[in-house]
Structure 1
């Protein structure tokens, strides 16, 4: 029987669990069980994300969570950023726009949920969204912050959610340019 009320039909646990998106009400629904409102919101976010994602897919977290998609679009637009593709797990991508090490291992556990962001056509930001930062990470981040090359920010302004924090490592020149633009906008 068709659902014409706009409310979600009772989801089939298997299909929704395997292919569903988590909607802002906290429930996971697949395309078959999503409401008309769910589908409209998904389409709206996909459209809004085109300039941010380009040909890339939603990054981990936002790939299954509509609220994370909403936060990502708002966050990326605020910072004038586009998602970049790289498997680099260290700072050399910010320096050279490529990964120069093989294998490239992350600097530490704090580099969880790592995404790469670009602005002005080049590398701008490494965004890690860990659940916590340990003592070793604080030492590493302090060393990064002590350089003129990078600007480090630890903030709650991010998109992943789930009680994570944001560790932003910006190229200082790009951060300065974006910050200057924001003051004149």
Structure 2
């Protein structure tokens, strides 16, 4: 049975505990000292992994930096993302360009093929891109782009499950000389119900 503790008197609420047995969402007023320390620690690490502050008029407790979807509302997801990025020496590429979260960007440094990113989903009907992705783009969901020393280094995808078609596509992609592929079915920072796919620039 899940215990829900939704204590919020502001739109700045943040998940501070989100498990199968307990769900807690609070604002600054109702947060504990430990929760405030955790938020302060993630804020202190945000710029180190490439995140930028939100416009000052949009900043409030728990919402100072432009976190990606998932970590933007889930404190534990932030902590896991920071831990992963720091351990690999990576910085997130967080901008408004829709051409910087595709495999062309990763392999060539830019996309000349106008692959379309709808939110964080890769939507491409271009046969060239589908072939490059291993024959299917269904594994590309909640995609984030990462750099090392200013150069493209990795794409992280966290799809809701990987079907046989997606796994076959990733196996094909792993044979490409420009990429290295890592798959972890235990998931990453986005959600316990998602897989974790890292495509690195070889």
State the TM-score, normalized to the length of structure 1. Answer: 0.77
Is the 8 Å Cα contact of residues 10 and 33 (structure 1) preserved in structure 2?
A: no
Which of 161, 170, 182 does residue 132 from structure 1 map onto?
161
CA RMSD of aligned residues (A): 2.3
Give the secondary-structure state (helix, strand or coil) at the position aligned to 1:118: strand
Aligned equivalents of 2:42, 2:180: Cα separation in 1 = 30
Aligned equivalents of 1:137, 1:70: Cα separation in 2 = 28
Bigger helix fraction: 1
Q: Flag the structure with larger Rg.
A: 1
Name the counterpart of 1:72.
Answer: 81
Name the counterpart of 1:36.
Answer: 33
Decide whether aligned partners of structure 1 residues 136 and 146 sit closer, same or farther in structure 2, where only a CA change above 3 A counts.
same
Which of 147, 158, 162 does residue 192 from structure 2 map onto?
162
Aligned equivalents of 2:42, 2:163: Cα separation in 1 = 35
Is the 8 Å Cα contact of residues 6 and 26 (structure 2) preserved in structure 1?
A: no
Is the 8 Å Cα contact of residues 62 and 68 (structure 1) preserved in structure 2?
A: yes
Unaligned runs of 5+ in 2: 54-65, 123-135
Is the 8 Å Cα contact of residues 94 and 124 (structure 1) preserved in structure 2?
A: yes
Report the CA distance between 1:39 and its aligned residue.
Answer: 1.7
Decide whether aligned partners of structure 1 residues 30 and 75 sit closer, same or farther in structure 2, where only a CA change above 3 A counts.
same
Report the CA distance between 1:165 and its aligned residue.
Answer: 1.4
Decide whether aligned partners of structure 1 residues 170 and 148 sit closer, same or farther in structure 2, where only a CA change above 3 A counts.
same
Report the CA distance between 1:36 and its aligned residue.
Answer: 2.9
Report the CA distance between 1:90 and its aligned residue.
Answer: 2.7
State the TM-score, normalized to the length of structure 2. Answer: 0.71
Aligned equivalents of 2:188, 2:199: Cα separation in 1 = 13
1:112 partnered with 2:141: yes
Mapping 1:148-159, distance limit 5 Å: 148-155=177-184, 156=186, 158-159=188-189
The aligned length equals: 161
Name the counterpart of 1:26.
Answer: 23
Aligned equivalents of 1:171, 1:10: Cα separation in 2 = 42
Aligned equivalents of 2:109, 2:44: Cα separation in 1 = 27
Report the CA distance between 1:67 and its aligned residue.
Answer: 0.6
Which of 2, 11, 22 does residue 7 from structure 2 map onto?
11
